[in-house]
Structure 1
Amino acid sequence: MIKLMQTTSLAALILLSSGCSNLNNNLGTANEPNIDETLEVISDASIKSLSDITSIAFEWKSVNDHRVTGYNFYRANMHKDGRRLKLIDSINNKYSTHYVDKNLEPNTKYVYQISSKAADGKESKTTNAYIAQTAPRIAPVSFMQALSDLPNRIKVIWRPHEDKSIAYYVLERFNTSVNNWEKLSKIEGRLESEYIDDGLDNNESFRYRIKAFTYNDVATVATEAVSAKTKPLPKGVTDLTASNDKPKSINLTWTASKTEDVIKYEIERSNLKTFGFTKLKEVNNETLAYTDAIDQDGAVYFYKVFAVDKDNLRSSVNTDSVKGVTLNKPAKPNITLAQIQGSKAILNWTSGDHRAMSYNIYKRTKINFFTYKTESFKDIKELRYEDNNIISGVEYKYSIQANDEYGLISERTDEAALILPQTKILK
């Protein structure tokens, strides 16, 4: 604290403001002081002061004049008010010899004059000008740092203030949209030294500063601003491909993310190209392929693969999907000939698909009006089939399907109906 006293003549330095008043309930009104030069004046030599950052305490020797009932305090801010003093307080007890002027500005010089006052509202001449200065603000926090590359958050740390009068800190963050500092948090306790600003966007920069406050809510100067940036999302995979020629499955392959701390990949699948994706599988960061087993031929799905880092941040959702298709059934053959030749049924066909490796023949023999007996002949390699096991007058129906190398089977052809005519008996 600073103690400063200087006296000089009133005429040389200070003029009482015409807006003064001797009455406690008329502080700041426009009444002229009513001076009684016979009232005892407080001794200049008896005035002492003690300064804090935002207040100045005064002591003086009381007067003996029986007419005095209290004291008036006049003040001017030397940096703002110049030589014009105003009545700031009126003490209604002549035996009171202690007064604290509060809510002052730090490190600022003030000029004071004191007068004695009587019951009739008159007051004595004032003391000579007394100059006192408030103490400067406490030094700011000596060290502050903001830590970057944390997921959706920034950690701010500082060194606890050494001054034991510090009660709490106020952390501020700069708002670029309004171009101003805004209070982010009040942190109670001098020994506290960190704050985590979470819920932030990815890869975004912020500026911070901190002020320490005394138990009287007096702030230190703010620290220099520090900056930090939240962690960016990991880079996504590249070269994602999905197969369209695998039976009962779709094979996915991709190139690894270039982000070093990626620990896994999440595979998502949808029936639609742009939305409806759900998690299908997680694989570790060394796995760059996945086979989606699908018990369906010609199934169409869309896929996305996301990189996930050690902080569980996923690469951007704004990535295109890839289309995968399971291998469809081979096309069915085309029957080119179905007829009875002699005592046998002859079937000729052409392949409907280059994938066809063999063929299945299905023969239905009519038993009665409602019933057929079905037989099958598998793995026929040729494009012709001759059936010698037929009986005159019986209806037979034939259909054919193709088999590919993966065991996929085409749809059956439409049935071809044949009847071996009955032989006429000559009488």
Structure 2
Amino acid sequence: MTTLVKTTSLAASLLLLSGCSGLSNLGTPTKPKVDETVEVIDSKSIKSIADITSIAFEWKKVEDPKVVGYNFYRANMHKDGRRLKLIKSLDNRYTTHFVDTKLQPNTKYVYQISSKAMNGSESNTTTAYVTQTAARALPVSFAQGISDLPNRIKLVWRPHPDLRIRYYEIQKFDTGLNKWKLLKRIDGRLNAEYIDDRLGNNKVYKYRITALTYEDVATQPTEVITAKTKPLPIGAQNFQATVNQPKKIVLTWEPSPTEDVLKYSIHRSLFESLGFSKVKEVSKDTLSVTDKIDSDGKTYYYKVFAIDKDHLRSSDKIDSRMGMTLNKPAKPVITLAQIQGSKAILNWSTGDKRAMSYNVYKTTEVSFFESKTEKFTDIKGLRFEDNNIINGVQYKYSIQSNDEYGLMSEKTDDAELILPKIKN
């Protein structure tokens, strides 16, 4: 060990004041009882090593049998000026090492040491010994926040070159409380990365990094590191759903303008604003989906979400689009149902412009308990004549529309006709 700072003329003046301003008991001001016959530590034997907040001393022990220990006096030359005070009393003459701790970094201190006798007196002090604590380690020299990551921000920094550094503290600015809060402690000088996850989308966050020594002495924090999380992809554009297709709803859209979209997710619900569940996923090159539904006039509500390479899904805050399968055509309206001569005549008007043809159902009452029904299909006009009827038998006729997709309307109400029996 070697002396860090040599004695100066200022230190000598401090020495002259120590005899009347020192403290013989810790925290108790009193004039030291000096016995000039007690051996003094050799000032030239004092050596020291300084750290950021501590200074270690070594000296040559005295041989005087009256000595039972040593008193250390200290002054902070930046704050105390010439007022030395007793900081430590060692109770063993054979002790030759002492570490003064909890000091201020980069601060000059002056020390004087006396030998402590058995009767409570002490020797003259050594000449003033001036030394200085080491400066704080420099701040982390490079730190960066990586933006545009999904729900997270990655912090990277250059490992601190100072071997005294033991760990790092990551602080994050709390906008709600308007203050910095400790986020994470990263142990190990060579560790130089931290990922803050579970964050909001498209949000700006602020961080700073402080390095700390084995003695928990902190460097100055880095400049504020600002980074932003990745925004959600933009959803599908110009989304449409059909309302006029039989047994199906066709969904079409234009692609999302977000470049890294990989697929689209189609969700469906019976309700306009809740209860949506996924029905299908398609690749980014697919811009149309057919939802096959075995029901006529069935209504569903749809949303199409874009999903990017990081599995982020476009916002839920979009309006749904209603789709509906084609309804059955309206049933025709019977305008005439009568017996003319020996045949049944039915006339009707179309109930729906979609009607392409008609079905006529003829039900014959065979007996009180039995009937049979015949179906006449592909009738193009609005009139039906039935020559195949028997006197005295009751017939029931109903009519049904067919559209171009084969959808059939409900049947009309039965029209009841009977050809009267011929009287003898």
TM-score (norm 1): 0.92
Unmatched runs of 5 consecutive residues or more in structure 1? none
| Deviation for aligned residue 1:125 | 3.7
Amino acid at match of 1:267: I
Partner of 1:35: 33
Q: 1:169 to 1:85 in 2, by over 3 A?
A: same
Amino acid at match of 1:35: K
- The CA distance in 2 between the partners of 1:120 and 1:322, in whole Å, is 99
Partner of 1:103: 102
- The CA distance in 2 between the partners of 1:394 and 1:19, in whole Å, is 139
Partner of 2:24: 22
For residue 44 of structure 2, give the secondary structure of its aligned residue in structure 1.
Answer: helix
Asked if structure 1 preserves the Cα contact closer than 8 Å seen for 2:20 and 2:32, the reply is no
Amino acid at match of 2:355: A
Partner of 1:225: 224
Identical columns (%): 61
Once the two structures are superposed, what CA deviation does each residue of 1:269-319 show, in whole Å capped at 9, x if it has no partner?
Answer: 000001100001111112222111111100010000111111010011111
User: Comparing 196-205 with 368-377, which one deviates more in the overlay?
Assistant: 196-205
- The CA distance in 2 between the partners of 1:16 and 1:302, in whole Å, is 91
Asked if structure 1 preserves the Cα contact closer than 8 Å seen for 2:3 and 2:48, the reply is no
- The CA distance in 2 between the partners of 1:353 and 1:254, in whole Å, is 31
- The CA distance in 2 between the partners of 1:183 and 1:149, in whole Å, is 23
Asked if structure 2 preserves the Cα contact closer than 8 Å seen for 1:2 and 1:52, the reply is no
Query: Are 1:126 and 2:125 an aligned pair?
Result: yes
| Deviation for aligned residue 1:416 | 0.9
Amino acid at match of 1:129: A
Unmatched runs of 5 consecutive residues or more in structure 2? none
Q: How does 1:38-117 map to 2 (within 5 A)?
A: 38=36, 39-117=38-116
Q: 1:55 to 1:10 in 2, by over 3 A?
A: closer
User: Comparing 38-47 with 154-163, which one deviates more in the overlay?
Assistant: 38-47
Amino acid at match of 1:287: T
Q: 1:47 to 1:165 in 2, by over 3 A?
A: same
Q: How does 1:142-221 map to 2 (within 5 A)?
A: 142-221=141-220
Amino acid at match of 1:6: T
| Deviation for aligned residue 1:17 | 11
Partner of 1:3: 4
Q: How does 1:242-253 map to 2 (within 5 A)?
A: 242-253=241-252
Partner of 2:414: 415
Asked if structure 2 preserves the Cα contact closer than 8 Å seen for 1:17 and 1:85, the reply is no
Asked if structure 1 preserves the Cα contact closer than 8 Å seen for 2:153 and 2:227, the reply is yes
- The CA distance in 2 between the partners of 1:316 and 1:88, in whole Å, is 66
Amino acid at match of 2:168: Y
Q: 1:318 to 1:19 in 2, by over 3 A?
A: farther
Asked if structure 2 preserves the Cα contact closer than 8 Å seen for 1:168 and 1:186, the reply is yes
| Deviation for aligned residue 1:258 | 1.1
Query: Are 1:398 and 2:397 an aligned pair?
Result: yes
Once the two structures are superposed, what CA deviation does each residue of 1:237-271 show, in whole Å capped at 9, x if it has no partner?
Answer: 22111111111111112221111111111110000
Amino acid at match of 1:3: L
- The CA distance in 2 between the partners of 1:161 and 1:64, in whole Å, is 47
Amino acid at match of 1:323: M
| Deviation for aligned residue 1:10 | 7.1
- The CA distance in 2 between the partners of 1:389 and 1:164, in whole Å, is 111
Once the two structures are superposed, what CA deviation does each residue of 1:366-418 show, in whole Å capped at 9, x if it has no partner?
Answer: 01112111100001111111111000111101111100111110000111111
For residue 411 of structure 2, give the secondary structure of its aligned residue in structure 1.
Answer: coil
- The CA distance in 1 between the partners of 2:224 and 2:20, in whole Å, is 45
- The CA distance in 1 between the partners of 2:336 and 2:8, in whole Å, is 132
| Deviation for aligned residue 1:186 | 2.3
| Deviation for aligned residue 1:336 | 1.3
- The CA distance in 2 between the partners of 1:186 and 1:289, in whole Å, is 50
Q: 1:302 to 1:54 in 2, by over 3 A?
A: same
For residue 84 of structure 1, give the secondary structure of its aligned residue in structure 2.
Answer: coil
Amino acid at match of 1:111: V
- The CA distance in 2 between the partners of 1:18 and 1:262, in whole Å, is 82
Once the two structures are superposed, what CA deviation does each residue of 1:67-117 show, in whole Å capped at 9, x if it has no partner?
Answer: 221111122323333433332211001221221112222211122222222
- The CA distance in 2 between the partners of 1:177 and 1:83, in whole Å, is 48
TM-score (norm 2): 0.92
Amino acid at match of 2:254: T
Query: Are 1:320 and 2:345 an aligned pair?
Result: no
| Deviation for aligned residue 1:44 | 3.2
For residue 259 of structure 1, give the secondary structure of its aligned residue in structure 2.
Answer: coil
Partner of 2:264: 265
For residue 256 of structure 2, give the secondary structure of its aligned residue in structure 1.
Answer: coil
Q: 1:88 to 1:361 in 2, by over 3 A?
A: same
Once the two structures are superposed, what CA deviation does each residue of 1:8-55 show, in whole Å capped at 9, x if it has no partner?
Answer: 4679447669997534xxx32x34144224344334333222211221
For residue 45 of structure 1, give the secondary structure of its aligned residue in structure 2.
Answer: helix
For residue 172 of structure 1, give the secondary structure of its aligned residue in structure 2.
Answer: strand
Root mean square deviation, CA, Å: 2.3
- The CA distance in 1 between the partners of 2:391 and 2:101, in whole Å, is 126
